[in-house]
Chain A
Amino acid sequence: MKGGEAIIKSLTDEGVDVVFGYPGGVLLPLYDVIYDSDLRHILVRHEQCAAHAADGYARASGKVGVCIATSGPGATNLVTGIATAYMDSSSIVALTGQVVTPLIGKDAFQEVDTLGITIPITKHNFQPMTPQELPSVIKSAFYIAGTGRKGPVVVDLPKDVQELEMEFEDDIKIDLPGYKPTTKGHPLQIKRAAELIVNSSKPVILAGGGIIASNSFSELFRLSETIVAPVTTTLLGKGSFPEDHPLSLGMLGMHGRKTANLIVDDCDCLIAVGCRFSDRTTGNVAEFARKAKIIHIDIDPAEIGKNVDVDVPIVGDAKIILENLVEEIKRIKRGERTKEWLNYVKNFKKSWIPRMSFDDVPLKPQQVIKEIWETLSEDTIVTTDVGQNQMWMAHYYTSKRPRKFISSGGLGTMGFGFPAAMGAKVAKPEEDVVAVCGDGGFLMVSQDLATVREYDIPVVICILDNRYLGMVAQWQRLFYDERLSHTHLGDVPDFVKLAESYKVNAERVEKPGQLRETLSDALKSGEPTLIDIIIDAEEILPMVPPGRGLTEMVGEYKVENENMGEDRTYNKQSQGKVGD
C-alpha cells in the first residue's frame, strides 16, 4: 500500500476515530486517502483550533487526540496548541506535512524546520524518511504520547513518504531503548511517607493534573478519607477531588481560595501528588508551606526537587503509589488522628466562603459563575479560556468529577477554551459541554464557529463580556497605577450578530437570574449556542501578587458572612494594594 494508506491504517489500529485537521499542498496524498476512509475528519478553520480540539478531546476522554496540519504555515499555526498540550502534559499526536525528502533543507516552498521548532515543546518528534518506517513511527508516537508523563508528539511527514509504496507488516515492533517510564513507587519511600503522614497532626493533600491523567480519583479519595486530610488542588487538578466534600479546600495559589492558601501555609505535612509546584500554585517558594514536611509523588523524576525541596520523593504512577500508600498507612496506623484538625478545617472553611450572590447590573462575574454551576450538572464538561474568566471559574465553580474542568494552565493560552470544548464534545457527545471564555480570547478563535455549525457540534459558549483584556487590566489597576494601557477592547464586535452570521444561535444576558434559563435552554436545544454575558469590568479577583507568599492576598476577598473571617490570628496581612 501507499505511505498515506499506511498512516491511516496505523491511526485506525491505534483506535483513532476522529482527527481535527486542515489540508495543504504537501498533504494532498494523505488527504486523498482520507477522502474515502472511515476515519472521521473535522475541518477546522485555523490549525491552532485543530491542536486545541485534539487537546480538549484528550483531556475529556483520556485517549490520545490527533490533529493534522500542512507544512510551513500549517505547522507553525499548530505550535501554540502543541506548546499548550506540552505544558499541561496532554496526549496529542500532531501530524504535519513536510516537503518531499529531496527538497528538505533547500528552503523549498512552505518548508519549515518543524522538528527543530517543536523539539522544545514536544515529548518527542519523528520524521520518517521512508514509508516503511511509518507503522512503527506512528505506533511509537501514540505510545510515547499516552504513557508515562503524557505529552504531545509530532510526526513530520514528507510528501513523498506519503506517496511511495510500502509493505505493511503484521507485526509492528517499536524499539525505544531510552523510554521506560517508572510505574511502581519505591517501597522504602512509600514506607517513609506513610510514617510521616501517620505522625503528622495537620496533613494536607495537594492534588495536581497527575491525579486526572492517572485516573486515580478514587485512590485520592481513599487517601484523604483514611488520613482525614483536607485536599486542595492546582488549576489542572480541579475535579480530582469533589469540591463539595467537607475535606475539599478548593484551588490553591495566586487566585486560589483563601482557605486553601492559609491552610497550606499552616500544615505540617503536605502530600503533593501529580503536580509540579508551578509559581502560580506556590507563590514565593521560599515561603511556601514552610512548616510542612513535603511528600512529592510524581511520574516524572525531573519534577522532584525542581522547584521545591522535598522530604520524601516517590516516583511512579500515582494510582499504584496511592494504593500502596493507603495500605501501608492502614498497616502502621497508631490510634486515631484527633478530630481536632478536621473540625478546625471545617470551621475555618466556614469563615471564608466566598460570596457569590449579587444582584447588581452589570452582572458581577461571581453571580454569573453561580448561575452557571446552578444550571450545570456534575457531568457537564466545562472548558475555560484564559484570563479573569478562567480564574472566576477556577475560584468559584464547584467541580466534582475528573475530566470535567478543562483549562490551559501552564501556557495560559488565550483562545483555548472554545476549540477545546469542540474537541471535548466530539469525544463525549453524550455530555453537555460549555466553554466559558473571555471576549478577547474568544475573538482569537471565533472563526471556528463555522466548524461547530458545519459539523453540528452543539457546544455552548458563554462569553464573559467585559470589553477588556480583563486580567491584564486587573494587574494594571493593582500594580500600574490604573494606567490601562491597551487593554480596552472597544464596542465591536456584536457577539450575537457575529454568531448569527455563522448560523449559530445566540443570546445576550444582562440581568441576574437570566443566565440560568438561557443556558439551560441552550443545552436542551442541542444546537451550538453563544451566550454573550455582559459583566462588570471593574470587579477584581483577589490575588497573591507575584513574588509574595500565599497568605498575602490583595483585593477584597468578599465572603458570605462578613464578620466571621476576622478571628484569624496569623492572617495579619492588609487587604489593600501591593506596596502599602
Chain B
Amino acid sequence: MEDQRTHIISALVLHKPGVLQRIAGLFTRRGFNIDSITVGTSEHADIARITIIAKGDERVLEQITKQLNKLIDVIKVRDLDPESTVKRELCLIKVHAPSEQVRSEVVQYASIFRGRIIDVSPETLTIEITGASDKIDALIDMVRSFGIKEIARTGPTAISRGTKTI
C-alpha cells in the first residue's frame, strides 16, 4: 500500500434528518474505513460541521471526498492539511480510585496532562481531558493500571489555522 496517511476531512453539511445516514451509508457501501467521525453545529444554525479521520492512500481519499461531495446535502468538503490544522479531541475517563493514595496519583497525572477532575464518588474519579489524540492515549496509558471503568471519547474535531476557512 502506498502512502497510507491519516487524513482529516472536514465537511459542511445541511443540518437535516438523514444526513448522517447518507454519509455513514456511503462509507459502508464503498468500503471506506474511517477512524472517527464527529458531528456538531457550525457557525450557521442550519449547517453542521463533520470531521472525519480516515486512513488511506491518495486514491481512496480522493474517492471519499468526491463521493461525499456528490451527496446533495453536503455543501463543502476539504481534506485538511495536517500541518496547518488544529485538531482536538475531548475524552472523559472514569478511573477506579477507592483509596487516598490512588486518588492523589490520579489527580497528579490529570494535572500533568492538563486534565481536570469533573466528578468524584467514593469509588471513582472522572477526568476530563482535551487535546491531540496521542496525548489522550498517553494519559489513558498512565491511569490504566488503577483500573478504568469507562472511557468516552468524542473523536477529533478540527479547524484550519489562521484566517483560512473551508
Residues in B neighbouring A429, C-beta threshold 8 A? none
Residues in A neighbouring B18, C-beta threshold 8 A? 115, 119
Tell me, yes or no, whether B120 is within 8 Å of chain A by CB.
Answer: no
Tell me, yes or no, whether A124 is within 8 Å of chain B by CB.
Answer: yes
> Contacts A124-B72, A144-B72, A178-B75 given: A305-B59 contact, CB under 8 Å?
yes
The distance in angstroms between the C-alpha atoms of A273 and B71, with both chains bound, is 23
Tell me, yes or no, whether B74 is within 8 Å of chain A by CB.
Answer: yes
Tell me, yes or no, whether A492 is within 8 Å of chain B by CB.
Answer: no
CB distance from B93 to the nearest CB of A (A): 35
The distance in angstroms between the C-alpha atoms of A178 and B21, with both chains bound, is 17
B21 partner, pick from A119, A123, A176, A304, beta carbons under 8 A: A119
What number of B residues sit within 8 Å (CB to CB) of A? 20
Tell me, yes or no, whether A570 is within 8 Å of chain B by CB.
Answer: no
Most B CB contacts (10 A, CB to CB) among A115, A178, A300 go to: A178
Tell me, yes or no, whether B62 is within 8 Å of chain A by CB.
Answer: yes
Are B63 and A120 touching (Cβ within 8 A)? no
Residues in B neighbouring A497, C-beta threshold 8 A? none
The distance in angstroms between the C-alpha atoms of A124 and B21, with both chains bound, is 12
Residues in B neighbouring A177, C-beta threshold 8 A? 14, 75
**Scoring B residues 60 to 103 as 1 if CB is less than 8 Å from chain A, else 0, what string do you get?**
00110011011111111000000000000000000000000000
Residues in B neighbouring A116, C-beta threshold 8 A? 21
Are B25 and A119 touching (Cβ within 8 A)? yes
Residues in B neighbouring A188, C-beta threshold 8 A? none
**Scoring A residues 110 to 142 as 1 if CB is less than 8 Å from chain B, else 0, what string do you get?**
000001100110011000000000000000000
The distance in angstroms between the C-alpha atoms of A124 and B25, with both chains bound, is 13
Residues in B neighbouring A306, C-beta threshold 8 A? 63
- By secondary structure, the B interface counts as helix
CB distance from B146 to the nearest CB of A (A): 43
The distance in angstroms between the C-alpha atoms of A144 and B73, with both chains bound, is 12
B69 partner, pick from A120, A144, A176, A301, beta carbons under 8 A: A301
| Chain B residues numbered 14-37 whose CB sits less than 8 Å from any CB in chain A | 14, 18, 21-22, 25, 29
A302 partner, pick from B13, B21, B63, beta carbons under 8 A: B63
Closest partner residue, chain B, to A306 (CB atom): B63
Are B66 and A302 touching (Cβ within 8 A)? yes
Are B72 and A302 touching (Cβ within 8 A)? no
Are A123 and B29 touching (Cβ within 8 A)? no
Residues in A neighbouring B22, C-beta threshold 8 A? 119
Residues in B neighbouring A35, C-beta threshold 8 A? none
Size range of the chain A interface in the assembly: 10 to 19
Closest partner residue, chain B, to A140 (CB atom): B72
Residues in A neighbouring B14, C-beta threshold 8 A? 177-178
Closest partner residue, chain A, to B70 (CB atom): A302
A120 partner, pick from B29, B59, B62, B66, beta carbons under 8 A: B29
Are A302 and B25 touching (Cβ within 8 A)? no
Are B72 and A123 touching (Cβ within 8 A)? yes
| Chain B residues numbered 37-74 whose CB sits less than 8 Å from any CB in chain A | 59, 62-63, 66-67, 69-74
| Chain A residues numbered 380-418 whose CB sits less than 8 Å from any CB in chain B | none
**Scoring A residues 199 to 222 as 1 if CB is less than 8 Å from chain B, else 0, what string do you get?**
000000000000000000000000
Are A178 and B59 touching (Cβ within 8 A)? no
**Scoring B residues 1 to 20 as 1 if CB is less than 8 Å from chain A, else 0, what string do you get?**
00000000000011000100
Residues in A neighbouring B63, C-beta threshold 8 A? 302, 305-306
CB distance from B67 to the nearest CB of A (A): 5
The distance in angstroms between the C-alpha atoms of A35 and B71, with both chains bound, is 36
Are A302 and B69 touching (Cβ within 8 A)? yes
The distance in angstroms between the C-alpha atoms of A116 and B18, with both chains bound, is 8
Are B62 and A305 touching (Cβ within 8 A)? yes
Are B67 and A302 touching (Cβ within 8 A)? yes
Residues in B neighbouring A144, C-beta threshold 8 A? 72
Residues in A neighbouring B72, C-beta threshold 8 A? 123-124, 144, 176, 178-179
CB distance from B107 to the nearest CB of A (A): 46
The distance in angstroms between the C-alpha atoms of A375 and B75, with both chains bound, is 52
The distance in angstroms between the C-alpha atoms of A116 and B25, with both chains bound, is 9
| Chain A residues numbered 156-184 whose CB sits less than 8 Å from any CB in chain B | 176-179
The distance in angstroms between the C-alpha atoms of A124 and B18, with both chains bound, is 11
In the complex, besides A124-B72, A177-B14, A305-B59, 19 extra interface pairs with C-beta distance below 8 angstroms are A119-B18, A119-B21, A120-B29, A123-B72, A124-B71, A178-B13, A178-B14, A178-B71, A178-B72, A178-B73, A178-B75, A179-B72, A302-B63, A302-B66, A302-B67, A302-B70, A304-B66, A305-B63, A306-B63
The contact sample of 19 A-B pairs, CB cut-off 8 A, is A116-B21, A119-B21, A119-B22, A120-B29, A124-B71, A124-B72, A124-B73, A176-B72, A177-B14, A178-B13, A178-B71, A178-B74, A300-B70, A301-B66, A301-B69, A302-B63, A302-B66, A302-B67, A305-B62
Q: What 7 A-B pairs are tightest by C-beta distance, nearest first? A: A302-B66, A124-B72, A178-B75, A179-B72, A178-B74, A177-B75, A301-B66
